[in-house]
A and B are shown apart, each in its own frame.
Chain A
């Protein structure tokens, strides 16, 4: 993949999008206008209705004899209109009350049984029934119910006070226990919770709306306008076309969503202040902005990729809209789920596409997000986005889709005839994603706490790494030897390997030490790791310990990462991407944020060594030496102490550097790079 070509396509798509006045209007101007109008309009209408209901004199039907104090209070405090009086309640009071209220003869009906007034005047209890209907469109009945019941409560309290006074009892005689409930949530938290329930679905829709137009315009629109053939005349790879278009769509989606959110945030904060300003606050302060932007990234990555992959199938703008409508409906489900109480962002839900984004937005706004969980959602969404982008690139290779044909789906999903004996970049990314899910969930089964260190390690290395890697190569139809670089290194490479192997531990030691110093929480993690590995190194006989800690990872992990992943990524034509991508996958698969950096940097050295030498054996030997030395160090304290000396570390770094220098370009001349 050529970055300049991707950049050229990105710039061109962005220029075209920004020159379309309709897009600009829909992206920026429309939200700035519509959001305040919607919010303020809604607020005004609600406030007007509430005010109207508060001022309306309730129409009351009274059945039976109410206590005089009650009747007086209703007339004096509410100016109530007594629209009907009956001496006794009817036989079927509920049906009659419903009829009266539905015909709007009365807003509420108060029914007092015989003797109620006497009970009130004496020291009994008047059991009064209040009939109302909260579901009538006028809402008069619902409003009247609150106002009438408030008045009745006041009358009851006053009567109680008199009774207590009459008996010479204190005012709180009837309340042996007084409970006052205090909500300690701050106004900001309440505002965040409110926004967290409202915003996830809205945010996803905003990103979606921002991405829809450019995604369609750059794909189906290009087909419809006939410029796709023009582009296909140029020497540009499908992945370059899709990557350039994708980046443009992501940027437009984020910009549009931010514009929408700013407008909505401002309008919403006004609305909350107007409705319940004393109880909660919501402003788009810097913290909320960072939270929303942090959530926007994975949402934009994924949604832009999905939209692009769908739109490419369409031959016209209209057809693309038909494809995308179901996706918008699908978005509503996780968006709604995020508003439900009790749905928490767990490790498992962090891998569920879309739902993880909705929950992420909510937790970020409430301030309950951890770095690990955020990274999990970001990585998962990015992985799904990468799969969607690669799928879109595959679609772009289909002439049946681009130029019309009867069987586009068969064209896309059929196994492609390829002259390459190795894997393709898309296959490597898909393999990494599958491996991530497999190891993530498989670790629950292959838990050393259940299977013991030996059983757990062997299960992870063999069942979760080696077997899937070999099956992947087999079913991809790639050649084992060339995909996994199964060839002997040259003499020069061998010399380089020995030097690298003797000093590679220093690379990991330096990075680990730096991370433990600067990253909070890293030191306890590495202490625990050393304890586990050290315990295992001492618990088993030396050959078994070396096999478990050094031998198995050297074979299984090298086949996975320097074999399958790096071999596939080499198909991009970029050595940096192949080495960097496989190192990142190596780091991520260790499933700990503290472990990513040291293992990824180790992966860079191993990847460079393997790619330059053309032999997987080189990476495997260096990997074995790195882990094996850790075992020896745990068993021989003198070695451990020596490995911590600055002079030894410096010499080891020199050896490793010299080894990498020797390995550079040491590939056998007859074997071109994959």
Chain B
């Protein structure tokens, strides 16, 4: 469903992502774990068709994002922790706006919006302007935006950043429901607990390269530790020393 094949992004001599290859199957949640500046956001943006790869390919549902970014965006829900909302629109107006950009029919937009407003407990603030919403309410509106067109694939870039524990948990449950619905989810985070709770597999990324990948049990076993946090730190230390 989501495929990255030798994906590379160069900015002059700096290589932000280097030969990244992995796949995310339908109904699977894969965690992209790495320290700040490791290249997670660059990889996710290339998969979402926002950035053009220098080489390699990013495919969603078999469509190359560099060749047909429009079709990739139709099939992808992209959400990040710092995605901003239009301050002078209400969440409901924003959802209608993005529904139209996704070529949804007006009745579909209204139906899906009502459903998401109910599912994400947005009734109280769906008709208030986004400028007056709390961080948690804003992120709920953003989740609704990413889920509105019912995409088969989700790319989530540190989506729980700055969220309180209740809203964060709410988001994680939404991801679990998406997995149950057969969606492929690629998820980047700093919080190992979230990865342990959600991910079927994890990818460790360091300085733009994938240094390990597998199920949580596999990466722990290879690092000869018990927890994901320990495995992550162990692999990062080794990679740093090797660099």
Contacts and interface: CB of A to CB of B under 8 A. Distances in A.
Interface in A231-287: 232-237
A467 interface: no
Contact of A226 (B70, B73, B74, B83): B83
Nearest to B129: A19
B83 A229 contact: yes
A4 interface: yes
A236 B74 CA distance: 9
Q: In the complex, which of the residues A2, A7, A8, A403 has the most CB atoms of chain B within 10 Å of its own CB atom?
A: A8
Contact of B80 (A229, A406, A407): A229
Contacts of B146: 233
Contacts of B12: 406-407
Contact of B88 (A4, A15, A235): A15
Interface in B74-127: 74, 76, 78, 80, 82-89, 93, 97-98, 100-103
A207 B108 CA distance: 40
B67 A399 contact: no
A16 interface: yes
B11 A8 contact: no
A346 interface: no
B84 A399 contact: no
B85 A227 contact: yes
Interface in A1-36: 2, 4-5, 7-9, 12, 15-16, 19-20
A419 B64 CA distance: 13
Interface stretch (B24-32, B44-52, B189-197, B234-242): B44-52
A9 B96 CA distance: 11
B50 A229 contact: yes
A81 interface: no
A265 to B, nearest CB: 32
Contacts, number: 78
Given A12-B97, A403-B50, A406-B11, A235 B87 contact: no
B145 interface: yes
B88 A16 contact: yes
B11 A405 contact: yes
B71 interface: yes
A399 B11 contact: no
A12 B70 contact: no
B121 to A, nearest CB: 22
A456 B101 CA distance: 51
A234 B82 contact: no
Contacts of A19: 88, 129
A561 B142 CA distance: 46
Q: How many interface residues does chain A have, given as a range?
A: 20 to 34
A8 B50 CA distance: 21
A20 B88 contact: yes
Given A230-B145, A232-B50, A399-B50, A225 B84 contact: yes
A15 B130 CA distance: 14
A233 B157 CA distance: 12
B87 A233 contact: no
Contact of A235 (B80, B84, B89, B101): B101
Nearest to B86: A227
Q: In the complex, which of the residues A12, A237, A406, A407 has the most CB atoms of chain B within 10 Å of its own CB atom?
A: A12
A94 to B, nearest CB: 68
Q: In the complex, which of the residues B67, B69, B71, B100 has the most CB atoms of chain A within 10 Å of its own CB atom?
A: B100
A2 B76 CA distance: 20
Given A7-B100, A230-B84, 20 more contacts: A2-B103, A8-B101, A9-B101, A15-B89, A15-B93, A16-B86, A20-B88, A225-B84, A226-B82, A226-B84, A227-B84, A227-B85, A229-B82, A230-B145, A233-B50, A233-B78, A234-B73, A235-B73, A236-B101, A405-B11
30 contacts: A2-B103, A4-B100, A5-B101, A5-B103, A7-B100, A8-B100, A12-B89, A19-B129, A226-B84, A227-B84, A229-B80, A229-B84, A230-B145, A233-B50, A233-B73, A233-B146, A234-B73, A234-B98, A235-B69, A235-B70, A235-B71, A235-B101, A235-B102, A237-B70, A399-B52, A403-B50, A405-B11, A406-B11, A407-B12, A419-B67
Interface of B: 11-12, 45, 48, 50-52, 67, 69-71, 73-74, 76, 78, 80, 82-89, 93, 97-98, 100-103, 129, 142, 145-146
Lowest 10 CB-CB distances: which A-B pairs, in order?
A: A226-B84, A8-B100, A235-B73, A234-B101, A19-B88, A233-B78, A16-B88, A235-B70, A227-B84, A235-B74
